[in-house]
Amino acid sequence: MVRKLTITVDEDVYAALRDRIGPRRISRFLNGLARPLSDRLGHPTR
């Protein structure tokens, strides 16, 4: 299941993510960072 999440980041953080990751890949990148944390907290994601 996919859920929409709105987050707030500083303008320079967003610009760095956009430049390094790409404007349409930020969500996938952040999901990849959060998945291991979720697993460690006892909430398996798969």
Confidence band of 1 (pLDDT split at 50, 70, 90): confident
Residue 44's pLDDT band, with cuts at 50, 70 and 90, is: low
Residue 45: its pLDDT value, please?
60
Q: What residue spans define the domains of the chain?
A: 1-46
**Average pLDDT rounded to a whole number, residues 8-20:** 97
pTM (two decimals): 0.73
Averaged pLDDT for residues 4-27? 96
Cβ density class 2-31: b for 16+ within 10 Å, e for less: eeeeeeeeeeeeeeebeeeeeeeebeeeee
Tokens of 9: 């980041």
CA Rg, the chain, in Å? 12
